[in-house]
Amino acid sequence: MSRTIPARRGRPAAAPLPQPKNSLALRLKRISRAWQLYVLLAPAIIYIVVFKYWPMYGVQIAFKNYNPVDGFTDSPWVGLTHFIRFMNSYQFGQVVGNTLWIAVLGLLVAFPIPIILALLVNQLQSERFKKFTQTVLYSPAFISTVVVVGIMFVVLSPRSGLVNNAIQLGGGEPIFFMGSAEWFRPIYVISDVWQNAGFSMIVYLAALAAIDPALHDAAKVDGASKLQRIRHIDLPGIMPVVTILFILAIGNLLNVGFEKALLMQTPLNLSTSEIIQTYVYHAGLQQAQFSYSAAIGLFNSLLNLALLLVFNTIARRANQATLW
Amino acid sequence: MSLTTNPRTLNHPNRASSPGRPKQTLRDRYGDRAFNIAATTVLLLSILAVVYPLYFIVIASISDPNAVYEGKVWLFPSGVTTEGYERIFADSRIWNGLGNTVIYTVLGTAISVSTILCGAYALSRKDMPGRKILMLLFVITMFFDGGLITKYLVVRDLGMLDTVWAVVLPGAVGVWNLIIARSFFEHTIPNELREAAQMDGATDFKFFFQMVLPLSKPLIMLMIMVHVVAQWNSFFDALIFLNDDSKYPLQLVLRNILIQSDVSSTGTTGGDIESYAAAQRIAELTKYAMIVVSSLPLMIALPFMQKHFTKGAMIGAVK
């Protein structure tokens, strides 16, 4: 440090010569001085190299015929064979269609509900009722996916389930919900809202709490009704958070909920419940077609990335907050 | 409920005409009142929609399975029995799974939380050379992913299949949690504190372990809870990486019983339809009880955890 100060003072502009060597030495010195920080970071770095970048390196098997002896690097190249096989397979249209259906339906229904709930909860005057509502609505987020799907199976059971008992009480015929293709999507989305809406609401409530109360007071003085204040103060106030969460949701569009779809699958609803990722699981891990299913997985990631880029651009055009 | 506690509508009925609020007309006040009623109704219905299925499962788990089967159980348990619970407690798979889950949860949480805290602190230090590039290394993994198959092959090549490590390591560090922890350190540990400690000769290790960690209790609590809940509830890594069912965590055992309807231990006695149907009903009863038992620990801990999770949402939102 002390060496650089006189150098800067003495030769303000015309000293390019000793600078590179000096700054390299300086940088090495700064790095070696911070060695303990690198030690702290090392486990996390090792983790992402082994469990994130190594698999990423392995994605090349999508263009190869993977065999365990040759490993990722030495397996023979086959080009786009696996992609072409997937696109020509009879499942292609169905599997991609099912994935997009669930993703878009989930987004359209499950994304706005937490915002609406947060706006309503935020308007409650009783602090105790507010707290109570919050706690109750977000408690299902702590129930595991396995148990939530287990609840579906018992509550929707055609023989003894709560819902079918109610239907029969009303004079209707029992419905085999978990075994019918047309019920898979509604059940999937409704259970998603049931489990996660309350938890997602918390972020919006935090954003609402950050809005300057003076804005509300001023609007009240001007005679704005609650609905008007929600529309003109609350909504614009949380819009940046909404936009960012929306883009993040798009980014994860084709990834989330895969475990639940897998758990909800029965042989009878496969025609709507088989999505890209469950197909990868079945073809790859259960039938050991590693290269073929890695290609499908890569197809899924690329589709996802494309969606993310498109929506981020739209958000930028609309002059909203963006991810980058 | 919110109506009765609203001082504006009850205690000051004439406030609308007071000079301070010139434009607040009577109609607007009724508009607000209608809004309050509508909002409260919507929220009460939402609460009912969340609570009733859970409540039903609790009462069904202690009711006579025949009454549940015939649709006689709606608001109160009928013909109280504890047979479902007795069967669970006699089922060795459940106990074994529970034991495995406890091991995986403790070990996994310890590994995840310590790796994240150490790494996030290093990344929060603006004077660490290469910080931006290193951070980018993490952020990239949020957008690109090797996918399920290559992850499986890597774990297999590491020889971790059918071991504890396959359950606790592959998902150990979530980048999102790392970012939350990093921004917590950036916002709560003042630079001056570190400079003062360095003047006194404290190394980075010493400063981190003796000053930063004791100042970061809310973050540590949050991280522990996030990972306990996630590990407790996870089943997928165990599903793909474990073959040996004596190593199955509770969630995987539950999946096999609740969803795959694996009734082997509930015993299908005899061949006649009558006893088969009875066994089926007992199996259903056991399922209700199983849902209650497996969700109870986290539900009991919920009020205690809520405060920390709300705070976590704030940290995340600030970022």
Inspect the interface and report whether the beta carbons of B115 and A157 lie closer than 8 Å. Answer: no
Its ipTM equals 0.84
> How many domains, in total, are found in chain B?
2
CATH number for the domain harbouring residue B172: 1.10.3720.10
A61 touches chain B (CB under 8 A): yes
The average pLDDT across A187-203 equals 92
Q: Residue A23's domain spans which residues?
A: 1-33
Q: Reply yes or no on whether the pLDDT at B166 is more than 70.
A: yes
Residues 14-33 of A with CB under 8 A from B: 27, 30-31
Q: How many residues are recorded in chain A?
A: 324
Same-domain pairing of B152 and B40:
no
Inspect the interface and report whether the beta carbons of B1 and A52 lie closer than 8 Å. Answer: no
For A291-324, b where at least 16 C-beta lie within 10 A, e where not — what string? bbbbbbbbbbbebbeebbeebbeebeeeebebbe
Average pLDDT, chain A: 86
Inspect the interface and report whether the beta carbons of A143 and B295 lie closer than 8 Å. Answer: yes
- Token code pair at residue B77: 């348990």
Q: Reply yes or no on whether the pLDDT at B23 is more than 90.
A: no
Name the residue in chain B with its Cα closest to that of A298: B147
Q: Shortest CA distance to A152 belongs to which of A194, A209, A114, A117?
A: A194
Residue at A221 is within a domain: yes
Q: Reply yes or no on whether the pLDDT at B315 is more than 70.
A: no
Which of B24, B146, B235 has its CB closest to that of A55?
B146
The predicted pLDDT at position A321 comes to 62
Same-domain pairing of A291 and A204:
yes
Give the model confidence (pLDDT) of A31-80 as tens digits: 888 899 999 999 999 999 999 999 999 999 999 999 888 889 999 999 99
Same-domain pairing of A117 and A195:
yes
Residue at B68 is within a domain: no
A120 touches chain B (CB under 8 A): yes
**Helix %, strand %, coil % of chain B (to 5):** 75, 0, 25
Q: Residue B190's domain spans which residues?
A: 85-318
The predicted pLDDT at position B2 comes to 36
Inspect the interface and report whether the beta carbons of B128 and A44 lie closer than 8 Å. Answer: no
Q: Shortest CA distance to B318 belongs to which of B181, B226, B199?
A: B181
Residue at A148 is within a domain: yes
Q: Reply yes or no on whether the pLDDT at B68 is more than 70.
A: yes
Same-domain pairing of B112 and B45:
no
Residues of A in contact with B28 (CB under 8 A): 223, 225
Cα distance from B225 to chain A (closest Cα, Å)? 11
Give the model confidence (pLDDT) of A286-315 as tens digits: 998 999 999 999 999 888 888 888 877 887
Residue at B79 is within a domain: no
Residue at B299 is within a domain: yes
Inspect the interface and report whether the beta carbons of B71 and A301 lie closer than 8 Å. Answer: no
Inspect the interface and report whether the beta carbons of B39 and A290 lie closer than 8 Å. Answer: no
Distances (CA, A) of B7 to A119, A149, B14, B24, B133: 21, 45, 12, 16, 56
Same-domain pairing of B91 and B235:
yes
Residues of A in contact with B46 (CB under 8 A): 117, 133, 137
